Structure 1
Amino acid sequence: MKKIILSVFLCFTCLTTFGQNIKSIQLRPLQENNFSAIVPLGTVLELSFDDLEADQRDYQYKIQHMTHDWQKSRLLSSQFVDGFDQNSILNVTNSFNTFQSYSHYSVKIPNVNTVITKSGNYLLSVLNDDDEVLFTRRFVLYEKAAIAGVVVSRSRNTKTLNKQQSVEFSVNYPNLRVNNPSQEINVVVIKNDNWNETLTDLQPTFFKPSQLQYSYTPKNNFWGGNEYLNFDSKFIRNQSMNIVRIEQKGVEVFHHYIFPYSYNPYEKYTYNPDINGQFIIRTLEGNDPATEADYAMMHFTLNVEDPFIDRDVYIYGAFNNFEIQEENKMYFDDKSNAYKGTVLLKQGFYNYTFVTVNRYEEVNNNEVRGSFFETENEYKVLVYYRPMGGFYDRVVTVGSGSFNADR
């Protein structure tokens, strides 16, 4: 019995360690500075990631069609894919002239082996040679069978008007046959392409012929949050934006110390352009960032007068898919009265912020940096349509809107 338990533990440990070697995961369109995996049907998306083991393993991607609420749909793979829903990732290149060795993997979808034929929610999984899932990413393919108009404004709730934003929208569908909009139409509102910040189960406030209106209700409100912090590590040996110190010990990777952020519960909003939590891999010390950008250990510091009671602090951003993981957890240092954390990241421009997590594993995006109605956020409205008797949720349109403080 002890041998069985030990074997299971070793397998779990190996998989966990193995997963930690996968870095810099991106799923994006080919257009420059486009970070969204919510795209029209037929758009080429590229999945890329690095394996720090640098041993060119056999990885495969797998595509699953999902419902509007991210459950596995009833469609067979042959009904939404022309070709194969699972295939090997063949484009592999080794890093060049870097302190941290890695293998860079990439695959474009659609490709000659995989062509997606239907709109909807999709889950993309990457599996190792034992068919174990290493990570997943969501993407959405939509049609242009309807039109969604979106307006983002300051909240009208007197208690939160300085902290929240309201999303109102309409859905026009003159070319769709909708008999029961409440059952056949579902909408999801997503903030800054972060699937942890969505509104679902919204019902229309007005019904018109071939049009649904979703006017203001308290349920349409989002916390505004704050603009993301940022740093640029495009130079591995020299300081760049918000990098205050650089060290290297022996032949290890460089250590970059990011300008500390000081917690202030009375902080006021300050405009600071950002890319809504995203990141861009880049280096000015090579020609191909995919294989010539190096890795550096990034040191984050959050100055506080006292530690947060019964709450942990995490570094948060698209670099880790807006997830709470041990790798991005910060620890309080009594000597400096600060939370400190380190994350190994590839050279580039990064947005990030700090969040707290309580004992119930609830994430608070606003406790450290505040929430303001002026914050520039982008909202997308995804409209799903499944007619009576239909087998899957089509995404018939996506509308988008950004907050404008001048409104």
Structure 2
Amino acid sequence: MKQRLSTILLLLMMPLLLSAQVYRTQILSPKVMSLQAHLADAWNKAPVIELHSEQQVSISFDEMSHEYLRLAYRIRHCNADWQASSMNELDYLEGFSENDLPEGATSEATTVEYTHYELNLPNDDVRLKLSGNYVVEIFDRDAAEEEALLLQVCFSVLDRKIGIDAKVSAQTDQAYNDKYQQLSFELQTPMGMIERPDSDIKILIRQNRRCDNQVFGIPPYMTSGNSIRYQHHPSLVFAAGNEYRRFEISSH
């Protein structure tokens, strides 16, 4: 009877586990196009800002109409794997978690009508009190609930506590000066700050801001004093993506 009860409880819990949402930057409405998210005034840098600095995350997109919309945004704090954390918003936000989006600029003399919107975070309405991962959701206040959410953007706030020394080499564990690159890096932490590197540190690696081949949660290769090294792991080898392949020309 106990075994059967345990099985039933497990089956009942599985939908709850599977329903935990993992946030990612994405467009959720066919009416939205041209979504961009980056460090303000630096279009080629990831949306990552330093805590208590003047840096901002810049978000922009086009809504494909000239229709007046009451758009708004809300900010949520996420844990290391981009699921919503259990923190109270008073602990990580100063101001309001939900605010009106700045008024957009309508297109002029274009074949297709659209309205361009821009949002910078943090701003006068909301400031961030903690480092970590965040997601901002932009929605239409007047739309039906199932159609209200237009897009979501993930960004991070960092608080520098440790040093990082990283190297990328074409001499990899898979090939030598071929079509791969291998990453190795070392963390320099204050003595006693990290007690259990395997569980206390969450590593996320992205190649040129790509999410399709990102690496999450690799273990340390070596720990010595205040140094934690990550190297010689298969997940640290990336395709180089060089369009110029090696070839040989022989003359006779």
Deviation at 1:126, TM superposition (A): 1.2
Tell me the equivalent position of 2:16.
Answer: none
CA displacement 1:112-136 (0-9 Å, x = unmatched): 1110111111112111223532211
2:89 aligns with: 77
* Mapped partners of 1:105, 1:65: distance in 2: 23
- The alignment's C-alpha RMSD in Å is 2.3
Give identity over the alignment, percent.
Answer: 21
Classify 1:46/1:158 alpha carbon distance in 2 versus 1 (closer, same or farther; 3 Å).
closer
Q: Distance in 2 between matches of 1:20 and 1:160?
A: 45
Establish whether residue 206 from structure 1 lines up as the match of residue 215 from structure 2.
no
Distance 1:38 1:63, change over 3 A: same
Cα distance in structure 2, aligned partners of 1:269 and 1:95: 47
Against the structure 1 CA distance between its residues 186 and 158, is the aligned structure 2 distance closer, same or farther, given a 3 Å change threshold?
Answer: closer
Distance in 2 separating the partners of 1:111 and 1:158? 47
TM score, norm. by length of structure 1? 0.49
Equivalent positions of 1:13-52 (< 5 A) are 19-41=29-51, 42=53, 43-52=55-64
SS of 1:162's equivalent in the other structure is coil
Question: 1:67 matched to which residue of 2?
Answer: 79
Q: For residue 109 of structure 1, what is the aligned residue in structure 2?
A: 121
Map 1:135-146 onto structure 2 (within 5 A). Answer: 135-146=151-162
User: Which amino acid letter does the alignment assign opposite residue 37 of structure 1?
Assistant: P
Deviations 1:212-263 (A, max 9, x none): 0112222321122245xxxxxxxxxxxxxxxxxxxxxxxxxxxxxxxxxxxx
Does the Cα contact within 8 Å between 1:155 and 1:221 map onto a contact in 2? no
Matched, 1:193 2:170: no
- After superposition, the Cα gap between the structure-2 partners of 1:84 and 1:120, relative to the gap in structure 1 and judged at 3 Å, is same
Q: Is the 8 A contact 1:56 1:103 kept in 2?
A: no
Distance 1:36 1:179, change over 3 A: same
Q: Cα gap change, 1:86/1:176 in structure 2, threshold over 3 Å: closer, same or farther? A: farther
Equivalent of 1:216 in 222, 228, 232: 232
| 1:145 Cα deviation after fit | 1.1
State the distance in 2 between where 1:176 and 1:90 align: 46
- Judged with a 3 Å threshold, the aligned counterparts in structure 2 of structure 1 residues 101 and 191 are, in CA distance, closer, same or farther, namely same
- The letter for the 2-side match of 1:109 is L
Equivalences for 1:157-172 in 2 at 5 Å?
A: 157-158=173-174, 162-172=178-188
CA-to-aligned-CA distance 1:342-393 (integer Å, 9 cap, x gap): xxxxxxxxxxxxxxxxxxxxxxxxxxxxxxxxxxxxxxxxxxxxxxxxxxxx
Q: Which residue of 1 aligns with 2:245?
A: 268
How far apart are 1:162 and its partner, in Å? 2.2
Q: Which runs of 4+ in 1 moved over 6 A?
A: none
Q: Distance in 2 between matches of 1:172 and 1:93?
A: 47
What amino acid maps onto 1:144 in structure 2?
A: R
Match of 1:119 in 2: 131
CA–CA separation in structure 2 for the residues paired with 1:61 and 1:176:
40
Pairwise CA distance, 1:161: 6.1
Mapped pair 1:98 → 2:98 = no
Counterpart residue identity of residue 268, structure 1: R
Check if 1:56 corresponds to 2:68.
yes
Aligned in 2, Cα 1:75/1:125: closer, same or farther, shift over 3 Å?
same
Task: List gaps (5 residues or longer) in structure 2.
Answer: 1-27, 248-252
Structure 1, gaps ≥5 residues long: 1-17, 228-266, 271-407
Amino acid at match of 1:142: L
Note if contact 2:56-2:120 (Cα within 8 Å) is conserved in structure 1: yes
Cα distance in 2 between the residues matched to 1:74 and 1:150: 33
Query: How many equivalent pairs are there?
Result: 214
The separation in 2 between residues aligned to 1:115 and 1:206, in whole angstroms, is 38
151, 167, 184: which one pairs with 1:151?
Answer: 167
Match of 1:398 in 2: none
Correspondence 1:389-404 to 2 at 5 A: none
Structure number with higher strand proportion: 1
Write the mapping of 1:4-15 to structure 2, written as runs, cut at 5 A. Answer: none
1:67, 1:121 within 8 Å by CA — same for their partners in 2?
yes
Assess if the C-alpha contact under 8 Å between 2:179 and 2:242 holds in 1.
no
Q: TM-score, normalised by structure 2?
A: 0.77
- Measured after TM superposition, the shift of residue 269 of structure 1 is 6.1
